[in-house]
């Protein structure tokens, strides 16, 4: 059946009414918790993510992990039991979440100025409340916001986005769950959008070389768009908080 489903109709709209180069709606909020040093909530379409950052703090537990020249970034990814259509217990540390945790760490480490915090540790906890495609990119984006909220120095935003090919021809941005199942290879890219550095790239299936370039280009464009959206959100948050405190302690 899925063979007959067109990801992009002839009129140029996707199943949910977006055009090929449109992101899903992104809504986000910083500082949703008081306990962690930084936290953020991000909705990308229906994918909903909570991220919390603790640190930098003294390395706890296994001290041998501590590095003399940089902070240790520790990521933990988990999915709520109710996050997918089927209610399912998801034990911590299963293969998928371990993999996403590692990928998250890779992307975040590339952005955090870890060298400023020797002997320290930064914990990033990400929880998926609702999974509707593009979980990893949403996690990266949420984690970025949480890191910024925690005041941890970053080189720049690290944003992630997926892209795929519709009808084997048109690159398509920000793949929803529905589009994920219908098929086609999905390219996930995490990048530092301002400098254009790619910090992580993953393909769900093989792409033909001819297509890779344009899909990658599209995904990077998506990262840049996301960065703009996040930047807006951060600025308005800072403005809000700053006004409440009366910009105290500032000149």
CA–CA gap between residue 93 and residue 11 (Å, rounded): 44
User: Judged by CB under 8 A, which of 67, 70, 109, 154 binds other proteins?
Assistant: 154
Q: Which of 221, 228, 127, 137 is nearest to 176 (CA)?
A: 137
- CB neighbourhood size of 59 (10 A): 18
| Binding letters toward other proteins, positions 26-45, x by CB under 8 A | -----x--xx-xx------x
Sheet with 120-130, edge to edge strand ranges? 26-30, 38-44, 47-58, 120-130, 72-79
CB of 76 to other proteins, least distance (A): 20
Helices (H), the chain: 95-111, 135-149, 177-182, 209-245
DSSP character for 70?
S
- In the numeric block, the tokens 């001819």 are attached to 210
**Stretch 66-85 residues interacting with other proteins (CB under 8 A):** 85
The stretch near other proteins (CB under 8 A) out of 73-81, 93-101, 135-143, 241-249 is 241-249
Nearer to other proteins, 86 or 95 (CB): 86
CA–CA gap between residue 88 and residue 86 (Å, rounded): 6
User: Judged by CB under 8 A, which of 101, 132, 162, 191 binds other proteins?
Assistant: 132
CB of 93 to other proteins, least distance (A): 26
**Stretch 84-103 residues interacting with other proteins (CB under 8 A):** 85-86
Task: Determine the size of the site formed for other proteins (CB under 8 A).
Answer: 72
| Binding letters toward other proteins, positions 172-201, x by CB under 8 A | ----x-x-------------x-xx------
């Amino acid at each position: 059946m899925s063979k007959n489903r067109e990801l992009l109709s002839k009129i140029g709209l996707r199943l949910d009414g977006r055009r090929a180069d449109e992101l899903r709606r992104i809504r986000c909020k910083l500082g949703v918790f008081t306990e962690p040093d930084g936290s953020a909530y991000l909705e990308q379409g229906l994918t909903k993510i909570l991220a919390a950052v603790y640190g930098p703090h003294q390395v706890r537990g296994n001290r041998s992990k501590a590095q003399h020249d940089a902070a240790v970034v520790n990521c933990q990814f988990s999915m709520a039991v109710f996050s997918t259509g089927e209610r399912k217990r998801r034990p911590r540390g299963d293969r998928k979440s371990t993999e996403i945790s590692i990928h998250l760490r890779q992307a975040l480490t590339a952005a955090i100025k870890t060298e400023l915090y020797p002997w320290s540790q930064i914990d990033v906890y990400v929880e998926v409340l609702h999974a509707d495609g593009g979980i990893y990119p949403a996690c990266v984006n949420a984690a970025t916001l949480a890191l910024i909220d925690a005041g941890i120095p970053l080189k720049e935003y690290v944003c992630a986005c997926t892209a795929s090919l519709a009808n084997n021809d048109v690159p398509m941005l920000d793949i929803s769950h529905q589009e994920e199942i219908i098929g086609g290879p999905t390219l996930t890219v995490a990048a530092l959008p301002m400098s254009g550095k790619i910090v992580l790239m993953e393909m769900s299936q093989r792409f033909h070389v001819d297509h890779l370039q344009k899909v990658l280009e599209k995904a990077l464009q998506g990262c840049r768009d996301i960065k703009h959206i996040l930047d807006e959100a951060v600025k308005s948050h800072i403005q809000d908080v700053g006004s409440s405190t009366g910009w105290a302690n500032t000149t």
